[in-house]
Structure 1
Amino acid sequence: MFDKLDDLLARYEEIMNELNEPTVTNNQDRFRKLMKEQSDLTPIVEAYKEYKKCKQDEEDSLALLDSESDEDMKEMLKEELSAAKKRIEELEKELKILLLPKDPNDDKNVIMEIRAGAGGDEAALFAAEMYRLYVHYAESQRWKTELLNVDEIGIGGMKEVSFTITGQGAYSKLKYESGVHRVQRVPETESGGRIHTSTVSVAVMPEVDDDIDIVIDDKDIRIDVMRASGNGGQCVNTTDSAVRLTHYPTGIVVYSQTEKSQLQNKAKAFALLKAKLYDLEQQQRHDAEAEMRRSQIGTGDRSEKIRTYNFPQGRVTDHRIGLTLYKLDKIMNGDIGEIIDGCILADQTAKLARMNQEG
């Protein structure tokens, strides 16, 4: 581990030297790559420098302790030694986590898709509430959301909704939301007061940017334009602005109707299709690496029931990490940070355990 840390420290110093050269700003691509690498290395380098300082403090305290005869000074040196040792242990754990292989998609924006599952209108109502949950969570992170497509039902529910979330590290947190979310409550339409169980499925896909090569052949795709349906604003329902793409090889169909312009809807539809094709490619890779998929939280099986929202008891349970919280109202308003932090910790623990087995 320390050989690797020394190499990273040397690389960090190389980058800093190169960034200080006046000519580097003339090549914007090179400058951006160096800045990105420097940003990625900074937390590791800072932790490692602190670790080395603590190790030096430990050695200094031990040397002074051997030569010191004053009891008060000895006591003070023992306290300093104990504090250094404690911090060294903490930093070793921190460095192991920082050295875990990084998901290349973590810094990407995301496209989310929520679909009503079992439960009819009640599932569609819950899908709309889940959409609001993620919009509120995005706002709390200072991320931007943009609607791609929505299929609404008359009572305020959504059969399906897809939208983008743009912001630093969006995928690194939201990837843990992929899977089936289950709600248990008495529907407003239920006169007998019986608790119903409904489900919605959430898919979280990294947005495909220029560094990912997804080729869509013209002959593999059909583009249909039509009049938008549902609750549209002025002009939206009066022109053929909605766009539907059908991808023949995979059978994937995407639809975009939120913009007034056919061109804008087409661009959004292609962005969604690219994300779906990349996601499909990732799923197939994870299926081929079954052990890796099992040890990861939130990037595996889309049909897995990951969370239950029980309204009568006011509780939310994440089944993957065994976490139950009795603050359903806050969670439905976007307060999901504690659940996401729990998933990140469980994911890191599983990866560390696997790394230790391999090591």
Structure 2
Amino acid sequence: MAPDFWSDNRQAQAHMQQLTALREEVTTWEQIATQLKDLHELSKMLEEEPDNDMQEEVASAIPPLEEQIGKLEFALMLSGEHDAKNAILSIHAGSGGVDAQDWAEMLLRMYLRWAEQHRFRTQIYDYSEGEEAGVKSATVEIEGRYAYGYLRSEIGTHRLIRLSPFDAAHRRHTSFAKIEVMPDIEDTIEISIRPEDIEVDTYRATGAGGQHVNKTDSAVRMRHIPTGIVVTCQNERSQIQNREVALKLLKARLFELEQKKREEEAARLKGENVQADFGTQIRSVIVHPYNIVKDHRTNQETSDTTGYLAGDVDAFIYAYLQEQASGVESAITADSNP
């Protein structure tokens, strides 16, 4: 009700989105509380006057509630500073040639389907096609509460082992793709970017996009001179829009860089060893000579490779976050019991 609430439209929209998300969260818990209260009263009535049909109805209502409560309790573990934010997910083909580019495109499709299953909105900001097939790299924003909290478990190198469809001899190939996930921190922290530190190139966009494609230099490539970070955007219809999106991506990458610096410094001060195997696979998908998806950090695995590649990634996300939460709990216990 503040008179100047809508004077800054973008800030107001951010507040309204936060309000909506919190209202939905509170309403969900209140509805569960009401259902549990009703079931409790029904169970007391059944103790006095047994009714087989009513007992079955009460019994059948409990498992869905338990499942819903389990998911909500799990969401409470997403308490990181940026866990509730939207995610900016980037996929880069690694070693493996055309197979790696095809693998990168398979991963993009997988995460888009995962987002759809969670009713998250997605928007592809950059899409660099491979020469023969697949993609060299792609960047997509996934909008939804806790999108970053869930997807940070996917950061790292993903490996695919299969019979290559691009090999005339149909031999087995190993391909790699790298996943980067950053929170959308636009308007949440101050990232100072001086105009003189940015080098901007424009070029003609490629791929689907309408009549303007290949006719105007609407695509934008932005380079941050001090760090050498380069971001591109060719999805929007105008150069101005692409500049705005590219600047947002640059802010996110600069934030990620600062976060890594702080984490490395904290690890140095605590005397912890920085992992030397960064870049090695965190998860492998094998479709020949057998079917298995295995996470090398948690040992979570499934033989349903088809379902996994169709977006059924939750089991792996949950396993990783549960392990992280267990590690934090163990550390707290150790600190409280020297």
**Common fold, TM-score beyond 0.5?**
yes
Contact 2:207–2:213 (CA under 8 A) maintained in structure 1: no
Counterpart check, 1:306 vs 2:279:
no
Letter in 1 for 2:116: E
Q: Which amino acid aligns with 2:91?
A: I
Indicate the residue corresponding to 2:115 in structure 1.
Answer: 138
Paired with 1:156 and 1:321, the residues of 2 have a C-alpha distance of: 32
Q: Scaled by the length of structure 2, what TM-score is found? A: 0.75
Is the contact made by 1:96 and 1:352 (CA closer than 8 Å) also made in structure 2?
no
Letter in 2 for 1:334: G
Q: Tell whether the 8 Å contact from 1:244 to 1:253 is kept in structure 2 after alignment.
A: yes
Distance 2:282 2:83 in 1: 20
* 1:250 matched residue in structure 2: 227
Q: Does 1:192 pair with 2:169?
A: yes
3-state SS in 2 of match to 1:253: strand
Q: Deviations over 1:214-237 (max 9, x none)?
A: 111111111111222455532121
Q: Give the match for residue 234 of structure 1.
A: 211
Give percent identity, aligned residues only. Answer: 33
Amino acid at match of 2:262: R
Larger displacement relative to structure 2 (282-291 or 181-190): 282-291
2:297 to 320, 324, 328: 320
Q: State the distance in 2 between where 1:317 and 1:115 align.
A: 20
For 2:315, what is the secondary structure of its paired residue?
A: helix
Question: Which residue of structure 1 aligns with residue 64 of structure 2?
Answer: none
State the one-letter code of the partner of 1:216: I
3-state SS of the aligned residue for 2:133? Answer: coil
CA spacing shift, 1:240–1:303, aligned 2, 3 Å: same
Query: In structure 1, how many angstroms separate the alpha carbons of the residues matched to 2:80 and 2:294?
Result: 26
Note the alpha carbon deviations across 1:311-338, whole angstroms, 9 max, x for none.
1112100001011111100000001011
Partner AA of 1:303 in structure 2:
G
* Cα distance in structure 1, aligned partners of 2:22 and 2:113: 32
Please report how far the alpha carbon of residue 352 of structure 1 lies from its aligned counterpart in structure 2 after TM superposition.
0.3
Candidates 81, 94, 114, aligned match of 1:104 = 81
Please state whether the residue corresponding to 1:192 is helix, strand or coil. Answer: coil
Matched, 1:263 2:263: no
Tell me how far apart the structure 1 counterparts of residues 271 and 151 of structure 2 sit (CA, whole Å): 17
Secondary structure of 1:289's partner? helix
CA–CA distance in structure 2, aligned partners of residues 41 and 146 of structure 1: 25
Instruction: Return the match for 1:289 from 251, 266, 286.
Output: 266
User: Taking structure 1 as reference, are residues 265 and 38 closer, same or farther at Cα in structure 2, changes over 3 Å only?
Assistant: closer
**Distance change in 2, residues 1:239/1:190 (3 Å):** same
Larger radius of gyration: 1
CA pair 40-104 structure 1, distance change in 2 beyond 3 A: farther
Alpha-carbon offset, residue 40 of structure 1 = 12
1:91 counterpart residue number: none
- Judged with a 3 Å threshold, the aligned counterparts in structure 2 of structure 1 residues 109 and 238 are, in CA distance, closer, same or farther, namely same
Secondary structure class of the residue paired with 2:161: strand
After TM superposition, the structure 1 stretch with the greater mean CA deviation from structure 2, 260-269 or 116-125, is 260-269
Q: Counterpart of 1:123?
A: 100
Aligned residues: 285
Aligned partners of 2:101, 2:143: CA distance in 1, in Å?
Answer: 25
Which structure 1 residue ranges, 5 or more long, are not aligned? Answer: 1-23, 50-93
**How far does residue 209 in structure 1 lie from its aligned partner after superposition?**
2.2
Provide the secondary structure at the position in 1 that maps to 2:123: strand
In the TM superposition, residue 162 of structure 1 has moved relative to its aligned partner by: 0.6
Deviation at 1:282, TM superposition (A): 1.0
Q: 1:208 aligns with which of 169, 180, 185?
A: 185
What's the TM-score, normalizing by structure 1?
Answer: 0.71
Distance 1:154 1:40, change over 3 A: same
- Cα distance, 1:156 vs. partner? 3.5
In structure 2, relative to structure 1, the CA distance for the partners of 1:97 and 1:227 (3 Å cut) is: closer
Question: Cα 1:116–1:39, aligned 2, differ >3 Å: closer, same or farther?
Answer: same
Question: Distance in 1 between the 2:24 and 2:278 partners?
Answer: 30
